Amino acid sequence: MTAAAQLITEPHLDVPDDFYQALIETHQSLSEAESHALNARLVLLLANHIGALPVLREAFAAARAALPRTA
């Protein structure tokens, strides 16, 4: 990734339904704790793949902004 890379936020998956199915299957038969650990490991693996801290910061901000607000 170059320093000018930006987070892609528009749909970009080749086969989104297949991706979702694979993600769900990966979580099958895991406990809640195991599922959380798997998600954490996926975040770290994908962050390493992206590599560019500015892009990762954009992703952090976008994910946090999408959370529902609580009182």
- Asked if the model's pLDDT at residue 71 lies above 70, the reply is no
Q: What is the pLDDT of residue 70?
A: 81
Inter-residue contact 50 to 42 (CB < 8 Å): no
Tokens of 2: 């170059």
Over the stretch 28-70, which tens digit does the pLDDT of each residue have? 999 999 999 999 999 999 999 999 999 999 999 999 999 998 8
Question: Around Cβ 2, how many Cβ atoms within 10 Å?
Answer: 5
Give the tens place of pLDDT for each residue, 5-14.
Answer: 899 999 999 9
Q: 18 near 67, Cβ under 8 Å?
A: no
